[in-house]
């Protein structure tokens, strides 16, 4: 029975998203919910990397952006027609499509780029970082800097990426006209469906040997190494999956939101993606997705009611949730603890074991060793 | 030759700004493992302190000299408040401090927006920093020269405090081995608070200095904080010497790349260079021999 808890939750979420929401919400609100679903897809990946893997991924905006820009470029080229030049290029650029845009004319290739490019980038970066045992704060800061660099790069290349304005004004999505409300509903179901499927995939992944290893790496990386498994490979796989999910979320975001700009990929956006994950419960199955949906809803509602209050709310959310409720809403419900109790894993223990006392002592050893070296 | 000299100067002055910002970070990061994302907002608080002082004190000559210590105190008090209210409960999970302090930073930004308004404020530079002095045929702007000197003074003062005062000894002992420091009667709680005061105060000083280079807005800190953290990472956490080398190195690299290419491409290349550098020395310039088991 306890094993079923997450699936009951998933079923409720599925009914809510696929049946209730389309029946109750206006087209405009449903479009907003579709947007939150895109964030939630990225959040599911963050739940895997951060909640289960203990990697604080501060730069998921990079992968969100790769997916979003690949999709946006494809839509722009498709709008322009065969051999055509997108409108903004005629405006700012050389009125010629640069060579690296050309492959995106094909819809199939665009999808391949959306799925493969983030995996390649995350794979290369992950190899470089995890194999050298760069972790914790170092990794967080590097991933954040990567997102910052990407946003800066996008702003700088006005001629080919639209610069700070980003890309917008898309007419069609793989042959479907975007102004048609029916097609917008279709996009919503696509986003909600992919979100639900990705949660199911996580439910399966968490039960595999890989899922167990990932939690083990989070709670005691060195012990996993002693047991004969390279933690770097485990972390790499989780990081790559998270990157691909973020990219898919970004790709769906573009036709739904109708715009992508460097603001959607930078540091602020990247950390914003974490807010929902923290609120929902980073290590729980449904927490990241539900949290992301809630945060998206709260942002829209609060910004409409009290402009400027969102910063206070988001700030307070980070402080209060992480300080008082590190397991998020899932901890509050006690679902994580109960669902995992029979396996005896520590998914509900959100201050990863081994970090607090033990690690402090050990780093002291290393520090005093370095001081000795300095003294010599 | 002139162009080369100009780039070196630009690089050193950019490095000095980074150094001023990263000094406080490396101090708190090194001692407590706290990653203080609100550091950027302490910089902003320092900059607004300079603005407020400049509206009270009519003489621009004096206001900068008053603002520097005032910025230090304001930044320090903010840091102390942050430590006492939030961070003291979180020393067991240092990675989470990053998000908590980011949240605090968001709130502080909005507070600044509500008090001072979103448009950027200008702080008039004192007359004695107008103009430039020619060295080897190149004109050095006095404001940038002032920041280089200020960064040097801050480093010297910090080193002096760490080396020669009782507090400095306590800080070094706590960084070296927290439990042992406690057994010989050092209050590590008080030491942590003092470190946080000094580190955050230095952010305030950096904020005052930044008003000389540009206008002051609520987002002032966010534009510097990512780079400042990179400096700390490259320098090796908790090592002042490494931080100095890293700040100047990154400043110089960026200046030369920005000269040869465009600014945005330069930033991306600097980042890639840092990833590559960490491949060679994962623990930063001053590497730590680690026996960490976690």
Closest CA–CA distance from residue A330 to any residue of chain B (Å): 18
Interface check A149 vs B, CB under 8 A:
yes
Give the Cα separation of A371 and A369 in Å (integer). 5
Closest CA–CA distance from residue A150 to any residue of chain B (Å): 7
Assess if residue B286 is contained within a domain: no
Antiparallel, parallel or unpaired: β B138-141 and B132-135: antiparallel
Q: Which residue of A has its CA nearest to B103?
A: A315
Closest CA–CA distance from residue B61 to any residue of chain A (Å): 37
DSSP assignment of A246-299 equals HHHHHHHHHHHHSEE-GGGTSHHHHHHHHHHHHHH-TTSSSHHHHHHHHHHHHH
Which residue of B40, B83, B99, B178 is the best one to mutate when testing the A interface, meaning the one whose CB has the most A CBs within 10 A? B99
Q: How far is CA B64 from the centre of its chain?
A: 18
pLDDT at B293: 37
List CB contacts (< 8 A) between B263 and chain A. Answer: 156
- Domain, as residue range, for B90: 2-225
Q: Which residue of A has its CA nearest to B269?
A: A149
Among candidate residues A54, A26, A6, A16, the one with its CA nearest the CA of residue A219: A54
Of B98, B226, B279, the CB nearest to A137: B98
Cβ contacts of B213 within 8 Å, gap of 6 or more: B17, B143, B144, B147
pLDDT at A40: 95
Assess if residue B281 is contained within a domain: no
CB A28 within 8 A of CB A284: no
- Beta-bridge partners for B133: B140
Assess if residue B86 is contained within a domain: yes
List CB contacts (< 8 A) between B290 and chain A. Answer: 363, 366, 369
A-B C-beta contacts closer than 8 Å: 184
Interface check A138 vs B, CB under 8 A:
yes
Q: Tokens in use for B165? A: 């005062």
Interface check B159 vs A, CB under 8 A:
no
Taking CA atoms, A49 is separated from A132, A227, A323, in Å, by 18, 21, 20
pLDDT at A236: 94
Residues B102, A137: C-beta atoms closer than 8 Å:
no
List CB contacts (< 8 A) between B29 and chain A. Answer: 137
pLDDT at A347: 42
Q: Which 8-state DSSP code applies to residue B216?
A: B
Residue spans of chain B under pLDDT 50:
288-294
Q: What is the pLDDT of residues A150-198, one digit of tens each?
A: 888 888 877 778 888 888 888 888 878 778 888 888 999 999 999 999 9
Reported as type and span, the H/E element at residue B134 is strand B132-135
pLDDT at A191: 94
Among candidate residues B221, B211, B16, the one with its CA nearest the CA of residue B101: B221
Interface check A363 vs B, CB under 8 A:
yes
Of A157, A357, A373, the CB nearest to B289: A373
Q: Where are the alpha helices (DSSP H) in chain B?
A: 2-32, 39-56, 60-85, 94-116, 142-164, 166-176, 178-183, 188-210, 222-235, 240-260, 263-280
Q: Tokens in use for A324? A: 């008082």
List CB contacts (< 8 A) between A352 and chain B. Answer: 93
pLDDT at A47: 94
Burial of A228 (0-12, 13-18, 19+ CB in 10 A): exposed
Q: What is the pLDDT of residues B59-93, one digit of tens each?
A: 777 888 899 999 999 999 999 999 999 888 888 88
Of B103, B230, B291, the CB nearest to A317: B103
Closest CA–CA distance from residue A64 to any residue of chain B (Å): 18
Closest CA–CA distance from residue A162 to any residue of chain B (Å): 15
Assess if residue A208 is contained within a domain: yes
Q: Which of residues 90-149 of B touch A (CB under 8 A)?
A: 90, 92-96, 98-100, 102-107, 109-110, 113-114
Of B175, B288, B292, the CB nearest to A359: B292
Assess if residue A368 is contained within a domain: no
- Domain, as residue range, for A179: 2-363
Assess if residue B11 is contained within a domain: yes
Report how many domains make up chain B. Answer: 1
Q: Where are the alpha helices (DSSP H) in chain A?
A: 5-15, 21-24, 27-46, 61-80, 87-92, 107-130, 137-156, 158-161, 181-207, 209-219, 221-226, 231-257, 267-280, 287-305, 309-324, 328-333, 335-341, 360-375
Report how many domains make up chain A. Answer: 1
Which residue's entry shows tokens 């002082």? B53
pLDDT at A3: 62
Q: Tokens in use for B189? A: 């709680």
Taking CA atoms, A208 is separated from A61, A148, B66, in Å, by 28, 34, 63
List CB contacts (< 8 A) between A223 and chain B. Answer: 293
pLDDT at A88: 78
pLDDT at B207: 92
Interface check A315 vs B, CB under 8 A:
yes
Assess if residue A369 is contained within a domain: no
Residues B267, A149: C-beta atoms closer than 8 Å:
yes
B119 dihedral zone (left: phi>0; alpha: psi -120 to 50; beta): beta
Q: What is the pLDDT of residues A64-119, one digit of tens each?
A: 999 999 999 899 888 887 777 787 777 776 777 777 788 888 888 899 999 999 99
Q: Is B121 helix (H, G, I), strand (E, B) or coil?
A: strand
pLDDT at B1: 57
Antiparallel, parallel or unpaired: β A176-177 and A167-168: unpaired
Residues A138, B278: C-beta atoms closer than 8 Å:
yes
Assess if residue A370 is contained within a domain: no
Mean pLDDT of successive 10-residue stretches along chain A, which has 376 residues: 70 89 87 93 94 91 94 88 77 73 84 93 90 82 87 83 82 81 89 94 92 90 89 93 96 92 89 90 89 91 83 88 84 62 44 38 38 39
Residues A318, B294: C-beta atoms closer than 8 Å:
no
Residues A355, B230: C-beta atoms closer than 8 Å:
no
List CB contacts (< 8 A) between A368 and chain B. Answer: 176-177
Q: Is B268 helix (H, G, I), strand (E, B) or coil?
A: helix
Residues B93, A315: C-beta atoms closer than 8 Å:
no
Residues B289, A133: C-beta atoms closer than 8 Å:
no
Of B102, B114, B289, the CB nearest to A370: B289
Give the Cα separation of B79 and B71 in Å (integer). 12
pLDDT at A93: 66
Q: Is B133 helix (H, G, I), strand (E, B) or coil?
A: strand
Buried b (16+ CB within 10 A) or exposed e, A114-137: beebbbebbbebbeebbebbbbbb
Of A129, A221, A312, the CB nearest to B110: A312
Assess if residue B256 is contained within a domain: no
Antiparallel, parallel or unpaired: β A259-260 and A172-173: unpaired
Q: Is A131 helix (H, G, I), strand (E, B) or coil?
A: coil
Assess if residue B186 is contained within a domain: yes
């Amino acid at each position: 029975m306890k094993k079923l808890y997450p699936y009951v939750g998933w079923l409720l979420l599925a009914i809510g998203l696929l049946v209730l929401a389309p029946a109750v919400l206006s087209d405009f609100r449903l479009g907003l919910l579709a947007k939150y679903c895109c964030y939630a897809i990225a959040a599911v990946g963050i739940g895997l990397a951060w909640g289960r893997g203990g990697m604080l991924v501060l730069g998921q905006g990079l992968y969100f952006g790769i997916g979003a820009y690949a999709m946006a470029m494809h839509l722009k080229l498709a709008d322009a027609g065969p051999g055509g030049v997108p409108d903004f290029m005629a405006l700012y650029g050389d009125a010629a499509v640069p060579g690296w845009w050309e492959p995106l004319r094909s819809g199939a290739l665009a999808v391949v780029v959306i799925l493969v490019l983030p995996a390649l980038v995350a794979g290369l970066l992950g190899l470089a970082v995890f194999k050298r045992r760069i972790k914790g704060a170092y990794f967080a800061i590097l991933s954040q800097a990567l997102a910052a660099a990407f946003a800066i790069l996008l702003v700088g290349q006005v001629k080919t990426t639209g610069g700070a304005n980003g890309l917008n004004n898309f007419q069609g999505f793989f042959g479907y006209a975007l102004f048609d409300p029916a097609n917008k509903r279709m996009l919503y179901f696509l986003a909600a469906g992919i979100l639900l499927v990705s949660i199911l995939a996580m439910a399966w992944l968490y039960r595999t040997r890989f899922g167990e290893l990932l939690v083990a790496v989070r709670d005691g990386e060195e012990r996993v190494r002693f047991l004969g498994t390279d933690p770097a490979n485990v972390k790499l796989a989780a990081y790559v999956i998270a990157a691909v999910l973020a990219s898919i979320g970004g790709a769906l975001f573009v036709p739904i939101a109708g715009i992508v700009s460097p603001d959607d990929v930078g540091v602020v956006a990247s950390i914003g993606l974490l807010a929902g994950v923290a609120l929902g419960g980073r290590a729980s199955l449904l927490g990241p997705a539900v949290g992301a949906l809630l945060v998206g809803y709260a942002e829209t509602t609060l910004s409409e009611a009290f402009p400027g209050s969102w910063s206070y709310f988001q700030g307070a959310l980070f402080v209060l949730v992480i300080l008082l409720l590190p397991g998020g809403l899932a901890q509050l419900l006690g679902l994580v603890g109960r669902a995992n109790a029979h396996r005896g894993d520590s998914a509900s223990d959100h201050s990863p074991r081994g970090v607090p006392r033990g690690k402090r002592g050990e780093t002291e050893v290393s520090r005093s060793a370095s001081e000795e070296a300095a003294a010599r | 030759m002139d162009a080369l000299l100009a780039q070196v100067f630009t690089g050193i002055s950019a490095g000095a700004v980074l150094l001023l910002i990263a000094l406080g970070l490396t101090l708190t990061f090194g001692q407590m493992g706290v990653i203080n994302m609100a550091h950027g907002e302490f910089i902003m608080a320092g900059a607004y302190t300079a603005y407020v002082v400049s509206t009270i004190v009519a003489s621009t000559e004096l206001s900068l000299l008053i603002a520097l210590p005032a910025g230090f105190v304001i930044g320090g008090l903010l840091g102390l408040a942050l430590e006492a209210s939030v961070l003291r409960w979180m020393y067991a999970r240092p990675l989470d401090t990053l998000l908590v302090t980011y949240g605090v930073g968001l709130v502080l930004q909005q507070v600044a927006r509500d008090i001072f308004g979103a448009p950027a404020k200008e702080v008039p530079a004192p007359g004695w920093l107008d103009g430039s002095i020619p060295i080897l045929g190149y004109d050095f702007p006095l404001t940038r020269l002032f920041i280089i000197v200020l960064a040097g003074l801050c480093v010297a003062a910090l080193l002096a405090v760490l080396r020669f005062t009782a507090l400095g000894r306590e800080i070094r002992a706590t960084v070296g081995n927290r439990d042992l420091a406690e057994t010989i009667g050092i209050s590590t709680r008080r030491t942590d608070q003092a470190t946080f005061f000094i580190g955050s105060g230095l952010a305030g000083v950096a904020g005052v200095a930044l008003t000389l280079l540009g206008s002051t807005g609520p987002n002032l800190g966010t534009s510097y904080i990512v780079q400042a953290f990179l400096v700390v990472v490259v320098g090796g956490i908790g090592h002042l010497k490494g931080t100095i080398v890293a700040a100047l190195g990154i400043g110089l690299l960026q200046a030369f790349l920005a000269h040869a290419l465009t600014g945005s491409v330069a930033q991306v290349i600097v980042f890639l260079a840092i990833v590559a550098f960490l491949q060679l020395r994962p623990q930063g310039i001053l590497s730590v021999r680690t026996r960490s088991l976690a």
